Amino acid sequence: MLYLAEVQKQKGGGILGGGGKTALKLLACQRTDQSWSAVPGDEVIPAEDAKNLNEGALVIVNLGGNRQIQGEIEPAGSRLARDLQNFSKQLEKAKSQEEEIEQWKQSLTYQSQELNRREMEMEARIEQMQSMEEDFERLDQQRQEIDSAKEEASRLREEFERSRQELEGAWEHLRGEQRRLEEQVAQHTPGLDESQALVISELLEQLSQAVVPTDAVREQLNLAFEVVNAQQAELDNRWQQIEQQTTEASARQADVERQGEEFQKRKQELQQEQKSLEEAKAELKAQQHALEIKQESAHMLSLQLRTQVELHQQVARLAATSADVKIGQRVDLEALEQMPLGELQGTVQNLQQDLEKLVRFVNDQEEELTFQREAVEELQEKIRTASEYDRISLETELAEEQDRYQMLDETLVGQRRNLREREEVLNQHQRVLRRRQGISESNASDNQKIDLGPVLSQLEAQRQQQEEDLQKLESQIEQMRRSISQAEDMVRHQSGDQEAKQRELQSLEQNWQSGMAAVAKLWGEVNTYQETLQPRQNTVSEIRQKLEAIAEALNQIQETGDYQLQMISQLQQTISSLIQSPEFAAS
């Protein structure tokens, strides 16, 4: 299995240095689906094959089931760059797919809205059709009344036509008699006897009775006009309502369009804010990752500092307890050579007295340390033979005694080192004093001792440098934490704002869709009214035209009848005057 690891160099534990060991800290492993997962804990495996690599370098290593390295250790730079490129391509592809999905969602949303609008429009049409069915039933009843009026008018027209034909025949016969009468009057030839005058009078009486009466027809026609006018008044009311609904629908349509524009504007703004929020989250994630790296570095530096302190303590303990080493102290030998001999002897005596006091103190501490060690060993022996109940309290007591022993031991390390340093200073003063007193001595033993003073000084300097580096790193970590905390607050605030805006946008979208549905329903009612009222209006207009034609024909019939009656009256007067004339009497 492939692992991503970090090269770590472990320094040797010898006093005078030595070859360090190289190890690999496992960071992540590749799963079967080519994805990577973090390795829990701080698992480290030895890897001498990576000793030529720099510390902190990232590598790819193949490990078997027994955690043994298989194959060569490959630098991770090229693979990480390739994986990051593939990851970027996958992100771009995923983003493109998200945009395509968003477009499909918008298209499906629009189609759903359109279907809802059509469904509401169909429901409105069904309601309007039900209402119009009732109106058509009333209209059919009124149409039947108008049809009966039309049938009556047709019957009267046929009767009028028949009477007119009879009247024309009678008029033609009357005109012939009138011409013959006029010829006789002109020739002063009495040709009209009493029987003929009676015949003509009877004929004129028949003609006056043959004039068709129009009062009944006009009464039916007026009733038909009243029905048509009532229908037109109702239609006018409906047309006025449709006009009002059209105005209302146009106004609400404009409001809905403004709501749609506002919704799209808010949606674009929210999408832009979401994009900014995603960028802020990505930046926050990068900062958190950088913080983790800094914290890991601080942890490693802390471990190195602890190792440095332990190494310093071990060297100091070795210098304090071994007779083969010494801790070189800087003593101004030239000043000792120039110092008066009596003063030098006094200084040596003072140093020797101080050393004896320190020796007694260190011996007391060593004796106390021995007692403390014996107490620890005694408690350990009691724990081995104690019951389960007593063991808990004994283990607590043992932990406390061990802490005291460790604290006392650490204190003695410094005291021993201080003692050795005092001895070395006293020895240097004594050697100068003996030389000035003319006492010869061999320095072979001092020259054979290993001087650990420079080593301790170097370790102390490294420890101080590492402490400074750790403090700087911890300061940077604290600054990064504050920056990340501020970024988290900002992201949390932006997320809250976006959630509120998202809810507001959803409410706005619902209102917009409700408005579109209401407008669609209103337009459906308007269109349905127009589609159903227009045929009805055409029918009423057609009936009105026919009734007006009948009324005009009836007026003509009335005028013709009046003219006929007038002519009959004149003929009757003429015949009456002829009958009463002397020529008629003489005949």
As given in the structure block, the two tokens for residue 532 are 């159903």
Is pLDDT of 587 > 60? no
Domain residues for 12?
1-75
Residue 425 lies in a domain: yes
> Is 83 a domain residue?
no
314 and 266 in one domain?
A: no
Residues 6+ apart with CB under 8 A from 26: 3, 4, 5, 39, 43, 44, 45
The reported pLDDT for the residue numbered 18 is: 43
Q: Which of 71-85, 274-288, 336-350 has the lowest mean pLDDT?
A: 71-85
Residue 477 in domain: no
**Which residues make Cβ contacts (< 8 Å) with residue 100, sequence separation at least 6?**
none
What's the CA gap between 306 and 286, in Å, rounded? 30
352-404 pLDDT, tens digit per residue, is 888 888 888 888 888 888 888 888 888 888 888 888 778 888 888 888 888 88
CA separation for the pair 315, 309 (Å, rounded): 10
483: in domain: no
**Count of domains forming the chain:** 3
**Do 53 and 106 fall into the same domain?**
no
- 390 shares a domain with 325: yes
The verdict on 67 and 106 lying in the same domain is no
Mean pLDDT for all residues in the chain: 77
Last residue of a domain, one of 14, 44, 75: 75
pLDDT above 70: residue 343: yes
Q: Is the pLDDT of residue 327 over 70?
A: no
Instruction: Tell me: do 54 and 104 sit in the same domain.
Output: no
> Can you read off the two tokens belonging to residue 478?
């604290």
- pLDDT value for 392: 83
For residues 476 and 224, the model is more confident at 476
Look at residue 473 and tell me if it is in a domain.
Answer: no
pLDDT for residue 557 = 73
pLDDT of residue 156: 62
Position 224, amino acid: A
In-domain check, residue 145 = yes
Based on the domain organization, do 365 and 403 belong to the same domain?
A: yes
| Domain stops at, among 467, 491, 515 | 467
Higher-pLDDT residue of 12, 110: 110
Identify which has the larger pLDDT, 185 or 114.
114
In contact, 513 and 256? CB cutoff 8 Å: no
pLDDT band at residue 420 using 50, 70 and 90 as cut-offs = confident
In the chain, the percentage of residues whose pLDDT exceeds 70 is 75
Residue 37 lies in a domain: yes
Residue 494 lies in a domain: no
Distance CA 234, CA 218 (A): 24
Range name among 15-19, 264-268, 385-389, 390-394 with the lowest pLDDT average: 15-19
Residue 396's pLDDT is what? 86
Q: Answer yes or no: are the C-beta atoms of 51 and 73 closer than 8 Å.
A: no
- Is pLDDT of 251 > 60? yes
Residue with tokens 């902190």: 56
Does the pLDDT of residue 259 top 80, yes or no?
yes
Q: Yes or no: say if 332 and 407 are a contact pair by the CB < 8 Å rule.
A: no
Helix (H, G, I), strand (E, B) or coil at 42: coil
Structure tokens at 239: 């047309």
Residue 131 class from Cβ within 10 Å (0-12 exposed, 13-18 middle, 19+ buried)?
A: middle
Query: pLDDT class for 13, splitting at 50, 70, 90?
Result: very low
- Identify the domain boundary among 48, 75, 102: 75
Residues 364 and 407 in one domain: yes
pLDDT digits (tens, 9 = 90+) for 33-61: 667 777 787 788 887 777 777 777 888 88
Co-location of 187 and 271 in the same domain: yes
Asked whether the beta carbons of 255 and 262 are under 8 A apart, the reply is no
Residue 125: what pLDDT? 67
pLDDT of residue 462: 80
114 pLDDT tier (thresholds 50, 70, 90): confident
Distance set, CA 41 to CA 25, 26, 31, 297, 305 (Å): 10, 9, 18, 15, 21
CA proximity to 516, closest of 253, 245, 267:
253
CB contact at 8 A, 355 and 422: yes
Residue 489's pLDDT is 92
pLDDT higher than 50, residue 306: yes
Phi/psi of residue 394, nearest 5 degrees? -70, -40
Beta bridge mates, 75: 59
Same domain, 271 and 417: no
Same domain, 458 and 509: no
pLDDT at 328 over 60: no
Question: Does residue 14 carry a pLDDT above 50?
Answer: no
- Helices 77-186 and 453-579, axial angle in degrees (round to 10): 10
Residue 142's pLDDT band (cuts 50, 70, 90): low
Burial class (CB in 10 A: 0-12, 13-18, 19+), 254: exposed
Is the pLDDT reported for residue 105 higher than 80? Answer: no
Instruction: Inform me whether the pLDDT recorded for 446 exceeds 60.
Output: no
Instruction: Return the pLDDT at 135.
Output: 67
pLDDT tens for residues 485-524?
Answer: 999 899 999 889 989 988 988 888 888 888 888 888 888 8
Between CA 150 and CA 130 the distance in angstroms is 29
70 and 98 together in one domain: no
Question: pLDDT category, 189, cuts 50, 70, 90?
Answer: very low
Residues 67 and 198 in one domain: no
Strand partners, 4: 28, 60
Higher pLDDT among residues 550 and 325, named by residue: 550
